[in-house]
Structure 1
Amino acid sequence: MDTPHIRILSVGTALPGPPVDNAALARRFGMDALWEQWVDAFIGTRHRHLAVDIETGEIGASLSELGVEAGRRALESAGVRPEEIDLVVMATATPEQLMPATVNVICDALGIDDVATYQLQSGCSGAVQALDVAHQLLQTGRHRTALVIGGDVLARFYDCDARLDRLPPDQLVNYVLFGDGAGAAVLSADASAGRCELVSVRTRLTGLNRPAGATMEWFGPVDRDSDRPAATEDYKAIEKRVPEMSEETLHELLDDLDWRPEDVTYLLPPQLSGRMTRRIVERLGAVGGAVGAEEVSCVNETGNNANALVFFQLERALERLAPGERAIGIAIESSKWIKAGFALEGV
């Protein structure tokens, strides 16, 4: 039996609240204009959407609420009813609870039941890992239609009373890098459906003997008063490793598919920050990896909302992808260094 060709039928996304710019962050946390200029120059991200009101510290949107909104939009756009879904895979680094799994809370709200569900705990590569799991399971023929979800609410880890001028760099950077959001895609094993084929998905752990570049803690009653920071980023290590890993991922995908660099119409690069994305795109062009490919990015408007980001890029790419055109997406996780990528082709 031939292996089914997996199609992406639609993508839906959801953002919480209005955009928060760098000036608003500076005012809230008592930083001066020089700090705002530093963010613009060295991070490059202009806006992010936060599920927490930084003035009051109140949570305005939960991860499951954002996931439901994104999932509903994806289903409606695909013209697929909840009862037609027989597989749901979700990726997140920030589940609402350890149990029940957030994916199952979302399914309940969408009216999806009696299906196989999986939740992956992962950072920025998690969305691609979720696509990989769904892609492989659909190819077995046991499932026909999948809903793949990715999202994070990272603002839960903000200390809205923090003095940013007293924080070390590995904690300070989190306040400007990240945003919140969710995305979802409907995938089908029906070869006659949709206009975009998910040709290939690739994920690889490459963190052997490498210190973690990012950490995120989970505190319980016993250690919630720990003095360990809730989240840290080794931004220098990330600046060094992520462009290298992006280049490796691009060439591995091209080699696997026997595609030439000039065959790629659209490039969906990693979205850590506006400045980092520019560096990665320049590097990939300089090595001949994606010369002429049109960049599909959104981080300057959405902030780095982790497992949601790939879906915001996919949403933009699907609007542009014409028959015969090809796209490559890359996502890199710095917590323990995971390379992930995928390839699309318009049909």
Structure 2
Amino acid sequence: MIRSVIRGSGSALPARAVSNAELAKTVDTSDDWIVERTGIRNRYIADDSETTASLATDAARAALVAAGIEASDIDLIVLATATPDQTFPATATIVQNALGCNGGIAFDVAAVCSGFLYALGTADSMLRTGMAKRALVIGAETFSRLMDWEDRTTCVLFGDGAGAIVLEAVEGDDAGAGIIATKLHADGAHNELLYVDGGPSTTGTVGKLRMRGREVFRHAVVNLASVLNEALEEAGLTAADIDWVVPHQANARILDATARKLGLPAEKVIVTVDQHANTSAASVPLAFDVGIRDGRIKPGDLVMFEAMGGGFTWGACLARM
């Protein structure tokens, strides 16, 4: 059988870090208010020279170095983003050209905060069916471009960044490293709970993010716990077998509530929401790279990735390192 094995990871953040205290100078908010409700203490905001593509390219280069793989060896790039550099072509093609690995497959995936899970599942399927041998899977966002900076309930929650992993198709067995199970879902009935009020086909503008936070929270805890159990069931494992959960970094309360619902100890959850805020499709690979580079996630560990975002979309992916 063929398994998609994670060979390396990388991440990139804008140069400018913005603390809650700095944000409170221009937004009607405070450090205490933000921390109590979200756990966020800091976020990174891209300047005019930093784009989704540039952050994605930097994260991809770091992942290639970690994997010991040349860009020329990559024949598939799947990039998850809700904030592309252009309406078209795909931001993945910009990254491909910057890396110098032109000629392979490159495209974007739009599933907002679940985008990295959708991209990972898509790349895994393509590797296992032989369409490609080595892939870059990237989540990259400049979500600050979508913020209404007069809406304190949303603008304090988000930041910019990118994360990437290198996947390689390897012949192995059920006990080996690689992606074991992926489960993805969507339910378009909840569009009005989390969306952007613009687009080229409707308003001709980019639009701003709108969210009904309490309703999103309620759906997130239920959906995430359910999809994690689906992935575990497919793999024939239980929550107790998981070494690490790498969740979408939306809100510390959601992370805590989901862990409790699954009976997972908090120390098994990689948390970076305090450092990066919600970076949408970038948050899972960013958190994963932090866990890899600080030595918590080790070879042989069983890692569960999970996320939920606007749409609603949600998913989980179980992988052996």
What is the DSSP-based 3-state SS (H/G/I as helix, E as strand, rest coil) of the residue aligned with 1:190? strand
Residue 211 of structure 1, CA deviation: 4.3
What is the DSSP-based 3-state SS (H/G/I as helix, E as strand, rest coil) of the residue aligned with 1:332? strand
Question: TM-score, normalised to structure 1's length?
Answer: 0.84
Say if 1:36 and 1:297 are closer, same or farther in 2 by CA, change over 3 A. Answer: closer
Counterpart selection for 1:39 from 18, 34, 41: 34
**1:328 equivalent in structure 2:** 304
Structure-2 separation of matches of 1:131 and 1:276 = 22
Question: TM-score, normalised to structure 2's length?
Answer: 0.91
Residue 297 of structure 1, CA deviation: 1.5
Unaligned runs of 5+ in 2: none
Query: Are 1:181 and 2:161 matched, yes or no?
Result: yes
**1:98 equivalent in structure 2:** 87
Aligned counterparts, 1:1-347, within 5 A: 3-29=1-27, 31=28, 35-52=30-47, 59-159=48-148, 162=149, 164=150, 171-191=151-171, 196-205=177-186, 207=187, 209-219=189-199, 223=203, 230-285=208-263, 290-291=264-265, 294-318=268-292, 319-333=295-309, 335-346=310-321
Q: Which has the larger radius of gyration?
A: 1
Structure-2 separation of matches of 1:340 and 1:18 = 31
Structure-1 separation of matches of 2:37 and 2:196 = 23
Residue correspondences, number: 316
Verify the 8 A CA contact 2:197 2:210 in the aligned structure 1.
no
What is the DSSP-based 3-state SS (H/G/I as helix, E as strand, rest coil) of the residue aligned with 2:25? helix
Structure-1 separation of matches of 2:61 and 2:141 = 17
Say if 1:17 and 1:255 are closer, same or farther in 2 by CA, change over 3 A. Answer: same
Deviation per residue, 1:205-260 (Å, 9 max, x gap): 1x1533432111445599468xx962101101111110111110111111111102
Structure-2 separation of matches of 1:118 and 1:75 = 19
One-letter amino acid of the structure 2 residue matched with residue 144 of structure 1: K
Structure-1 separation of matches of 2:66 and 2:307 = 25
Unaligned runs of 5+ in 1: 53-58, 165-170
Structure-2 separation of matches of 1:269 and 1:77 = 22
Verify the 8 A CA contact 2:44 2:160 in the aligned structure 1.
yes
One-letter amino acid of the structure 1 residue matched with residue 319 of structure 2: L
Residue 312 of structure 1, CA deviation: 1.5
Structure-2 separation of matches of 1:259 and 1:104 = 38
Say if 1:157 and 1:82 are closer, same or farther in 2 by CA, change over 3 A. Answer: same
What is the DSSP-based 3-state SS (H/G/I as helix, E as strand, rest coil) of the residue aligned with 1:177? coil
Deviation per residue, 1:34-87 (Å, 9 max, x gap): x432212112211100114xxxxxx24111110110111111111111111111
RMSD: 2.3
**1:168 equivalent in structure 2:** none
Say if 1:138 and 1:221 are closer, same or farther in 2 by CA, change over 3 A. Answer: closer
One-letter amino acid of the structure 1 residue matched with residue 303 of structure 2: A
Identical aligned pairs, as a percentage? 26
Residue 269 of structure 1, CA deviation: 2.6
Structure-2 separation of matches of 1:323 and 1:70 = 21
Structure-2 separation of matches of 1:315 and 1:255 = 26
